[in-house]
Amino acid sequence: MAQDSGVEDRTADRRMPALALSGGGFRATLYHCGALIRLNQLGQLARLSRISSVSGGSIASGMLAAAWKQLTFENGIATDLDARVIAPLRNFCTRSIDTKAVGLGTILPGKNIGDVLADSYDDLFEGISLQDLPDSPQFIFNATNLQTGRLVRLQKVRLADYAIGIIPEPDIRLAVAVAASSAFPPVLSPVEIQVDPARWVNATGTSHFGDPDYNRKLSLTDGGAYDNLGLETVDDFATVIVSDAGAPFGTEESAQAFWPQQALRALDIATDQARGLRKRLLFAEARAAGQVIAFSGIDGVASKYPAPQMLKPDPAMVARLAGMRTRLNPFGEEEQSRLINWGWLMMDVALRSFVTPAEPAPTAYPLPGFPV
């Protein structure tokens, strides 16, 4: 699935683990907080060579990227992950970001919805750019180009749309990259990025290199429109760790006659099929190549993993968490805490099953007052 790129091959060590963080609004951000906590506790966070993210996953990844250089690692574990990453994210997830972006983006002169969305993220990222991020791990924020229909990779080393080309070392605010990745259509998108057409470098297979209709302004929407799991940029690493908080697909007893509802239902079906195909291809390629896959899903069943377990989640609670809204609106303490605990537990069983099998089973949640 990964597309050819010499730059990536020189800058990312594919022998080390890579992490993919899915979309799913603040629900995904909080679920991924739990995943990051467990990755850190088991010493895997510091080993990551690349972190690929989409939408709500990009909010979590963006905070981790912004804080990475300040994190204190002792014996491969970040001792201040909670203070520098988790706590700011939890505070941010108490805010009404989508409503603010739509409201102010329609009335402020010189601002659109995407601009306001990016400005909101700068409360977390304080104006830093992609060039301020660490060289390792690589952080890739995935968006979708509405014009080419292709994945747009926003990272320190390059901006890439393989229908247009590559811009090396793009000078783009981290907040803009995260906004583009999480600009849920049609409400929060597009996020528009003006680019210098002279900076594009050609790449193998481009169809619009040098075309002024494509190389001056990028109109970007949520990365989930192309790849809601963020897999395309990590699927050829030796170990691929996935935290998937995407919306589980549900059946409906009767079809809707109202055409907008039919259109949304058809979109849900197409999205579910695309996610399913990517997952099946990931596991099929892994078997053929001898890769290790540790997959943690918000609608997963912990008891189906081979790792021994002491904590027994309640299926009704799991269903409730998996069905939570995917908006960027306030999540209360209980919602946050249970999502974090669930993301933590599913990452725990995934890692202990396939990456760190010698680790003992935990006996308590990180937030014990809110069991799953």
pLDDT tens, residue by residue, 55-110: 999 999 999 999 999 999 999 999 999 999 999 999 999 999 888 888 877 777 77
8 in a structural domain: no
For residue 277, the model assigns a pLDDT of: 75
Q: Which residues contact 206 (CB under 8 A, 6 or more apart)?
A: 162, 163, 164, 165
Q: Write out the catalytic residue numbers.
A: 55, 222
Is residue 246 a contact partner of residue 229, using CB atoms and an 8 Å limit?
A: yes
The answer as to whether 5 is a domain residue is no
Helices assigned H by DSSP within 234-369: 259-289, 315-322, 333-354
Pairwise CA distance, residues 222 & 247, whole Å:
15
Specify the number of domains making up the chain: 1
Q: Which residues of the chain have pLDDT under 50?
A: 1-9
Q: Which residues pair with 73 in a beta bridge?
A: 78
Assess contact for 67 and 85: CB atoms under 8 A: yes
Q: Is residue 2 part of a domain?
A: no
Q: What is the pLDDT of residue 292?
A: 94
Domain assignment of residue 343, yes or no: yes
What CA–CA distances, in Å, run from 13 to 68, 166, 179? Answer: 18, 20, 27
Q: Please give the pLDDT value at position 260.
A: 64
**Cβ(118)–Cβ(161) under 8 Å?**
no
Asked if residue 22 lies in contact with residue 240, where contact means CB atoms within 8 angstroms, the answer is no
Domain carrying residue 26: 17-355
Q: Half-sphere exposure of 105 toward its Cβ, with a 13 Å CA cutoff?
A: 21
Q: For residue 6, tell me if it sits in a domain.
A: no
Cβ distance 243 to 21 under 8 Å? Answer: yes
pLDDT at position 45, please?
98
**Could you tell me if residue 366 is inside a domain?**
no
Please report whether residue 88 resides in a domain.
yes
The first and second tokens of residue 309, run together, are 């377990």
End-to-end CA distance of the chain: 35
Distance CA 323, CA 107 (A): 33
Q: Are 212 and 197 in contact (CB under 8 A)?
A: yes
In a domain, 177, yes or no: yes
Check residue 3 and give its pLDDT: 45
Q: What is the CATH number of the domain that holds 60?
A: 3.40.1090
Answer yes or no: are the C-beta atoms of 219 and 225 closer than 8 Å. Answer: no
- Block residue for tokens 């960027």: 328
Per-residue model confidence (pLDDT) at position 262? 66
**Are the C-beta atoms of 240 and 17 separated by less than 8 Å?**
yes
